[in-house]
């Protein structure tokens, strides 16, 4: 079936939008803020924490940042009305103007930071492609000095990431460690699955062994099993780590047992109008998703 899944992904540019919409139903809470709120409540009921993310792409003009700023502010205000909701938020700095002007982006993010601080909200600054890695880390550091509940993301496939992990460890910054999804050259990033896995393990152990708080963000069962064994053998407490996954990725058979065993598991919950681009990326990253979606589609059709 793998070849068929890849074929489906290759035909995406001419696929009807409703077909991509089938992906969106699995991986996105919905178009509205209330959809995201309700999805996180359901996750909380099953013992999971959430991270809410406003979908959107990089902004190329200052006026374009007004919409994402409004959406993020509305999100934080709404979370203030739901103090029982166990969630944080994630923010993409290119939505706030990082590719236009770093100081302009900082002023925008600072508004979000101050609002989040008022309700004691965990704020994760997402990591994007390598062209903005350094600027993103500098804003993380700047924000963390004001509000300690600001976290970073490190991508295991980048050669520079070991140095960045030590840098963030020195400042006691909460880190979400993931493999990395952007296409990067071999001069700055590991290319093979094995190399990325090895570096992920190396970086994660650096953080855990030195008392940093680590979000183990992966759907790779090998890595989850590896870290579960390592953590148990080292006697690392749940105060120092959590597991993280994207909404809809079909590894419930691993995640729910982790929660049932008392581990912290956080689910990334995207929502918003810009679902098409996000869903298309999910398909390109993992063609096997196409198979799951097609199966679900025909199951629903039979039942109707």
Q: What is the set of active-site residues? A: 126, 176
CA distance 216 to 201: 10
CA distance 184 to 303: 44
CA 39, distance to chain mean position in Å, is 16
How far are the Cα atoms of 89, 155, 168, 207 from residue 162, in angstroms, in the given order?
25, 10, 10, 10
Is 152 strand, coil or helix?
strand
| 170: CB partners within 8 A, 6+ apart | none
Closest CA to 271 of 17, 54, 20, 92: 54
- Crossing angle of helices 275-285 and 288-303, in 10° steps, is 120
CB atoms within 10 A of CB 172: 11
CA distance 144 to 153: 13
**What are the backbone angles phi and psi of residue 89, rounded to the nearest 5°?**
-130, 160
Buried b (16+ CB within 10 A) or exposed e, 60-82: eeeebbeebbebbeebbeebeee
């Amino acid at each position: 079936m793998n070849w068929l899944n890849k074929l489906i992904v290759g035909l995406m540019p001419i696929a009807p939008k409703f077909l991509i919409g089938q992906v969106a139903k699995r991986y996105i809470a919905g178009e509205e803020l209330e959809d995201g709120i309700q999805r996180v409540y359901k996750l909380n009921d099953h013992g999971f924490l959430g991270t809410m993310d406003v979908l959107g792409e990089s902004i190329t003009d200052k006026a374009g940042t007004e919409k994402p700023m409004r959406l993020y502010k509305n999100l934080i205000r709404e979370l203030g009305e739901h103090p029982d909701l166990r969630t944080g938020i994630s923010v993409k700095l290119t939505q706030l103007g990082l590719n236009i002007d770093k100081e302009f982006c900082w002023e925008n993010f600072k508004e979000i930071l101050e609002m989040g601080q008022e309700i004691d909200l965990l704020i994760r600054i997402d990591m994007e492609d390598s062209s903005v890695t350094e600027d993103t880390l500098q804003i993380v550091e700047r924000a963390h000095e004001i509000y300690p509940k600001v976290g970073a993301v490190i991508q295991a496939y980048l050669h520079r990431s070991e140095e960045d992990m030590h840098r963030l460890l020195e400042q006691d910054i909460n880190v979400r460690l993931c493999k990395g999804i952007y296409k990067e050259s071999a001069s700055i990033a590991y290319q093979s699955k094995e190399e990325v896995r090895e570096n992920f393990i190396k970086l994660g152990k650096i953080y855990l062994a030195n008392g940093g708080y680590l979000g183990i963000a992966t759907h790779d069962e090998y890595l989850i099993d590896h870290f579960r064994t390592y953590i148990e053998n080292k006697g690392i407490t749940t105060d120092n780590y959590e597991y993280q996954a994207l909404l809809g990725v079909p590894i419930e058979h691993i995640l729910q047992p982790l929660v049932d065993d008392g581990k912290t598991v956080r689910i990334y919950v995207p929502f918003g109008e810009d679902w098409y681009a996000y869903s298309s990326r999910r398909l390109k990253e993992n063609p096997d998703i196409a198979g799951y979606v097609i199966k679900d589609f025909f199951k629903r059709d039979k039942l109707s």
